[in-house]
């Protein structure tokens, strides 16, 4: 029967004719065993002794007239099955054979994928013994660069040894294709990758240390450039980002796609969308019995950014609720069933208690609110629609400033006024939007409102 071509790790699957078709008669005795093995033919595949003398990994079914099994990974070459049939009444035995050609096998000595640092001199040699072709040798092999820079040269003979060598100059991997071909033209192909490893980059953001390969660089960007590396950092355009420093101030970073670095480190957060419109401009908000003092007022104080951008809001003399509302943009709606985190920076003025709340448009239950005590830095009453809340103070946010926040699931969709911050008339346990006669001497400082989809608590944008 025709020869079967297979590969290391491939299949021994084949069929062979009936005994009568092989010998021209039906034998009383038939023996099938390996034609030769690595004892009488060094380099051939090992012959197994049980249950029949067949090549390693092969099962011979004398009834079904098939061979099955898996070719060993480490052996290549030609192996055959010898068929011998005879009659008990005498006469000469008749023989036949079936050949299996196995492509070259990869030996453990062949180098694996490896790393080489930029500036390192790299060299790997592929020797004849790194492949095994058994009795189908001598084999030869060729090495081709499939991808990567011209940092390496390929030299040597395809029948003795081939060397890949050079100095790594760029942070780009090189992929090599190694083809080993036996005398029958069977090819075994191996891919090997030399992975370029960049020299170490060290950052100590809080100390302002930026090093590449132990050499100090001017800043973060300079160290990245020296290492021939890249980074991606994205955020929406037309937004002002703040990075908090060790003194508690929020420093503005206006450039798009710029990392937020301060003497506390680098601030990395998941992607999120700030839904608050004019988050530091309270003079453009909707008010209920409240007045916003202009930014030129000499009584204003510095906000968490360290500049005089905080707004003072005070009660009017009217009787009713006293608050200022925030809203989302018309193209940035709050969706029903989504959890949101609402926050605001506050600084105590003449009042002790403030209330952060969600409006009835989004939270019809009117239970999305929290009262905060700015003296004791704690929540004094939390509505039943609020799942989490907090107040964070100095030294994290600047002198006298607190960040108050709560998390709640929106009960309805809306894009109008959806949250607000109000006063409680001095009542720590006030319900949402309490009504009372106002006093123009009652005021609080506000800065940096925020509304983002949970779970993030979000920066001030």
* CATH code of the domain occupying 282-453: 2.60.120
Tokens of 302: 């510095």
pLDDT in tens, the chain (461 residues): 689 999 999 999 999 999 999 999 999 998 888 876 554 454 456 666 555 678 888 889 989 999 999 998 888 888 888 899 999 888 888 988 899 999 999 999 999 999 888 888 999 999 999 999 988 889 999 999 999 999 999 999 989 999 999 998 887 899 999 999 999 999 999 999 999 877 777 887 777 788 877 888 888 878 877 766 677 766 555 455 566 666 656 666 656 666 767 776 776 666 667 777 767 777 666 677 777 664 455 556 777 777 777 888 889 899 999 998 876 665 567 889 999 999 999 999 999 999 999 888 888 899 999 999 999 999 999 999 999 999 987 554 557 889 999 999 999 888 767 788 999 999 999 999 999 999 999 999 988 888 888 764 444 33
pLDDT at 93: 87
We find that the CATH architecture of domain 106-197 is Sandwich (2.60)
Q: Cα(359)–Cα(336) distance, rounded to whole angstroms?
A: 14
Paired with 69 in beta bridges are: 58
pTM over 0.85: no
pLDDT at 235: 58
pLDDT at 100: 92
Q: Where are the domains of the chain?
A: 4-102, 106-197, 201-230, 282-453
Fold of 4-102: Immunoglobulin-like (2.60.40)
pLDDT at 39: 45
pLDDT at 82: 86
pLDDT at 448: 83
Tell me if domain 4-102 and domain 106-197 are identical in fold. yes
């Amino acid at each position: 029967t025709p020869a079967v071509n297979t590969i290391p790790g491939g299949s021994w699957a084949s069929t062979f004719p009936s005994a009568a078709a092989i010998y021209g008669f039906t034998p009383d005795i038939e023996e099938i065993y390996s034609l030769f093995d690595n004892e009488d033919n060094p380099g051939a595949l090992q012959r197994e002794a049980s249950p029949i003398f067949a090549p390693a990994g092969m099962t011979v079914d004398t009834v079904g007239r098939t061979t099955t099994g898996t070719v060993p990974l480490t052996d290549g070459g030609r192996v055959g099955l010898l068929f011998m049939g005879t009659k008990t009444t005498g006469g000469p035995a008749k023989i036949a054979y079936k050949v299996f050609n196995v492509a070259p096998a990869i030996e453990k000595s062949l180098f694996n994928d490896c790393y080489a640092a930029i500036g390192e001199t790299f060299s790997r040699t592929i020797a004849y013994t790194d492949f095994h072709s058994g009795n189908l040798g001598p084999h030869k092999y060729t090495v081709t660069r499939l991808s990567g820079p011209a940092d390496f040269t390929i030299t040597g003979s395809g029948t003795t040894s081939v060397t890949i060598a050079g100095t790594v100059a760029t942070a780009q991997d090189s992929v090599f294709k190694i083809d080993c071909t036996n005398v029958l033209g069977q090819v075994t192909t191996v891919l090997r990758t030399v992975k370029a490893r960049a020299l170490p980059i060290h950052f100590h953001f809080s100390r302002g240390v930026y090093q590449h390969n132990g050499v100090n660089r001017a800043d973060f960007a300079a160290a990245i450039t020296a290492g021939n590396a890249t980074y991606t950092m994205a955020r929406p355009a037309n937004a002002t980002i703040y990075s908090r420093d060790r003194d508690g101030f929020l420093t503005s970073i206006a450039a798009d796609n710029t990392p937020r670095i301060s003497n506390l480190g680098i601030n990395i957060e998941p992607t999120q969308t700030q839904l608050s419109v004019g988050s530091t401009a309270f003079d453009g908000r909707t008010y209920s019995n409240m007045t916003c003092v202009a930014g030129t007022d000499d009584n204003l104080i510095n906000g968490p950014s360290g500049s005089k951008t905080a707004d003072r809001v005070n009660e009017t003399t009217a009787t009713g609720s006293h608050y200022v509302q925030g809203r989302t943009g018309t193209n940035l709606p709050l969706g029903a069933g989504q959890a949101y985190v609402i926050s605001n920076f506050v600084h105590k003025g003449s009042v002790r208690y403030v209330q952060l709340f969600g409006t009835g448009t989004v939270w019809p239950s009117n239970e999305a609110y929290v009262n905060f005590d700015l003296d004791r830095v704690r929540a004094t009453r939390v509505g039943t629609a609020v799942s989490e809340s907090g107040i964070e103070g100095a030294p994290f946010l600047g002198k006298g400033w607190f960040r108050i926040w709560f998390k709640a699931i929106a009960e309805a969709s809306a894009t109008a006024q959806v949250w607000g911050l109000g006063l409680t008339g001095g009542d720590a346990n006030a319900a949402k939007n309490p009504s009372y006669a106002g006093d123009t001497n009652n005021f609080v400082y506000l800065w940096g409102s925020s509304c983002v989809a949970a779970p993030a608590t979000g920066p001030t944008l």
